[in-house]
Chain A
Amino acid sequence: MQPDAATPILELRGFAYTYLEGTPRASEAVRNISLKIHRGERVGIVGATQSGKSTVVDSFVHLLRLGQGQVFYKGEDVAAPGYDRGRLRREIGIVFQQPDSQIIDDVVGADVAFGPTAAGLSATETRERVEESLDTLGLPYADYRLRYVHALSGGQRRRVAIAGVLAMHTPVLVLDEPMAGLDPRGRKELLELLIQLQKARELTLIVCSASLNDASLLCDRFIVLDRGTVVMDGPVREVLREADGLAELDITLPEPVVGAREMQKLFPDFPTDVLTEDELESELLTRLGAA
């Protein structure tokens, strides 16, 4: 049960997947993906639409018709007969692209309580978890617990969905396009919250996105997908150095990197692995000073 530290917490080996396989409407989503994610890592899975991100996310908790030998959690094959999928889903929390789809109960408090209750926690413990999760996401428990989910705004519903997953205290947290539909302030708040949560709970954090804008501040490693295969895999700065290649894959680059690419017109050797505007600025000042 307790594999050594070298065993990746999540691993895909030659993962391939076709939806509605064997029917005239079959569509190939993932061709060949191998990747290893270790405990406590902050990984960004990036790629344009149709690159296979969401299919990879679904495979982590066995939501597909998986064959054996492709998806491993803590070194165990999740598609092996008799594998405890319930436990797998209690340990990997997923926040889907459309938050509405994963909201089960009409009332905010009851929905957030769903996971802990299903996991067999006592009423007191469940209540504590609900309160903690809602407060963390800036939805004060006393004010929100009895509100109807459908009467909330899109951003608030996303927070409820995230709260529902956080209340499970999963060691692995997966977010599919978490920033979609949020205003700049909402994005900044969520970004700070995720960074803080990841540190506090030593989470393994996986973020899927077609944009590197927030992901570059949140992750320390990027896995870049293109049409169902891995095309780049490495530390954030290393991947950002390939800015031209990323832009060709229709991946939205972080704003500082966009600036850096503009600068390359003046200084052909201007580096593109800049994470913040400050880094961009100091890089530019050095060049100007030298000139």
Chain B
Amino acid sequence: MLELQRNVIFGQFVETGSFIHRMDARVKIAATSVLIVASFLIDTFLGFGVLLPLLVVIGVVSRIPLGYVLQGSRIFIAFLGFILAFQVLFYARDLPESSYLWRWGILSVSTEGLYTAGILALRVILLYYVTTMLMLTTSLVDLTNGLELIFGPLQRLRVPVNELVLVFVIAIKFVPIFIEEMERLARAQTARGVPFDEGGALTRARRLGRLLVPIFISGFARADTLTIAMNTRSYRGGRYRTKLRQMRANPSDWLALTLVIAWITVAWLV
């Protein structure tokens, strides 16, 4: 039966107590940002090849099973495949005749098209992988505190840092909640005779459309409740709050960050 949570892990947090989980959140956010920048700078297959061992190391050290991550990315991978097919087929440039492998009307497959699509795929996968790993290994509280501390200085420029970070974190947190909600709705509707567990991929996808209206309604209701809950508890950003647990980056955290930056620099320069 429909177990959507298996196929979408975006926004989930899995505690394994690994070194990466224990790292200072600020350092993790910094490392992730550097990797995101790297995904735009690197534009050769060799560069991404150099980066691969680093990603494997992150995966292994975090002790999060690869199978779990892969299964939880199935919908993302299918979507990416769909986009890339378009990228290849509609790659229209003035190309020498020799680079076309296949042509039919405006559709074509060319070596240049395949190359561009390949690089694009690696970029998107890298982006997805590092942000997913950040969320899988960082609790929401740490993520919030880390972001608030990093962007804290902007407060002097009257940027509402706490509020912005809160909105960002809530947006992420709502993804798994929505997925759970969809699962619940799909179960209840299956019991009433909409067979969400039968039919091909297309029929199933079309049935999911039925859930959109109730999901939106429950989403608004949830947001409303959250607002009231925060108001009754006098939420006004983290400005006047002191923290029981101060964040402290250990030498090993700095070492890890340096390693990531060095590795990326090598990957960029090759």
Query: How close is B244's CB to chain A, nearest CB, in angstroms?
Result: 28
Q: A24-B65, A25-B12 are in contact. Are A150 and B217 (CB under 8 A)?
A: yes
Is A104 touching B3 in the complex (CB atoms < 8 A)?
no
Is A102 touching B210 in the complex (CB atoms < 8 A)?
no
Task: Kindly state the separation between the CA atoms of A165 and B14 in the bound complex, as whole angstroms.
Answer: 38
Task: Kindly state the separation between the CA atoms of A103 and B185 in the bound complex, as whole angstroms.
Answer: 9
Q: Flag the segment in B101-109, B122-130, B193-201, B253-261 that touches A.
A: B193-201
Is A102 touching B191 in the complex (CB atoms < 8 A)?
yes
Q: Let me know if A20 is at the binding interface, CB within 8 A.
A: yes
Q: Mark A148-170, 1 if CB is under 8 A from B, else 0.
A: 00100000000000001100000
- Which residues of A lie under 8 Å from residue B68 when comparing CB positions? 23-24
Q: Mark A33-56, 1 if CB is under 8 A from B, else 0.
A: 000000000000000000000000
Is B187 touching A104 in the complex (CB atoms < 8 A)?
no
User: Which of A25, A94, A101 contacts B184 (CB under 8 A)?
Assistant: A101
Is A115 touching B193 in the complex (CB atoms < 8 A)?
yes
Task: Kindly state the separation between the CA atoms of A58 and B185 in the bound complex, as whole angstroms.
Answer: 13
Q: How many residues of B contact A (CB 8 A)?
A: 29
Is B1 touching A65 in the complex (CB atoms < 8 A)?
yes
Q: Let me know if B64 is at the binding interface, CB within 8 A.
A: yes
- Which residues of A lie under 8 Å from residue B185 when comparing CB positions? 101
Task: Kindly state the separation between the CA atoms of A86 and B196 in the bound complex, as whole angstroms.
Answer: 11
> What residue of chain B has the Cβ atom nearest to residue A118's Cβ?
B193
Q: Mark B1-34, 1 if CB is under 8 A from A, else 0.
A: 1010110000010101000000000000000000
Task: Kindly state the separation between the CA atoms of A17 and B139 in the bound complex, as whole angstroms.
Answer: 28
Is A85 touching B197 in the complex (CB atoms < 8 A)?
yes
Is A23 touching B190 in the complex (CB atoms < 8 A)?
no
Q: Let me know if B218 is at the binding interface, CB within 8 A.
A: yes
Q: Let me know if A247 is at the binding interface, CB within 8 A.
A: no
Q: Let me know if A90 is at the binding interface, CB within 8 A.
A: yes
> What residue of chain A has the Cβ atom nearest to residue B214's Cβ?
A100
Q: A23-B68, A63-B187 are in contact. Are A104 and B12 (CB under 8 A)?
A: no
Is B64 touching A24 in the complex (CB atoms < 8 A)?
yes
Q: Let me know if B189 is at the binding interface, CB within 8 A.
A: yes
Is A58 touching B214 in the complex (CB atoms < 8 A)?
no
Q: Let me know if B213 is at the binding interface, CB within 8 A.
A: yes
Is A64 touching B193 in the complex (CB atoms < 8 A)?
no
Query: How close is A153's CB to chain B, nearest CB, in angstroms?
Result: 14
Q: Let me know if A189 is at the binding interface, CB within 8 A.
A: no
User: Which of B192, B198, B218 contacts A104 (CB under 8 A)?
Assistant: B192
- Which residues of B lie under 8 Å from residue A24 when comparing CB positions? 14, 16, 64-65, 68
Chain A positions 101-137 with a Cβ under 8 Å from a chain B Cβ: 101-104, 106, 114-115, 118-119
> What residue of chain A has the Cβ atom nearest to residue B221's Cβ?
A100
Is B184 touching A63 in the complex (CB atoms < 8 A)?
no
Q: Let me know if B208 is at the binding interface, CB within 8 A.
A: no
Q: A62-B1, A86-B193 are in contact. Are A102 and B6 (CB under 8 A)?
A: no
Q: Let me know if B95 is at the binding interface, CB within 8 A.
A: no
Is B191 touching A25 in the complex (CB atoms < 8 A)?
no
Q: A24-B64, A24-B68, A63-B1 are in contact. Are A96 and B14 (CB under 8 A)?
A: no
Query: How close is B41's CB to chain A, nearest CB, in angstroms?
Result: 33
26 A-B residue pairs with CB within 8 Å: A23-B6, A23-B68, A24-B16, A24-B68, A58-B187, A61-B190, A63-B1, A64-B1, A85-B197, A86-B193, A89-B190, A89-B191, A101-B188, A101-B189, A102-B189, A104-B189, A104-B192, A104-B210, A114-B193, A115-B192, A118-B192, A118-B194, A119-B193, A150-B217, A164-B192, A165-B192
- Which residues of A lie under 8 Å from residue B217 when comparing CB positions? 150
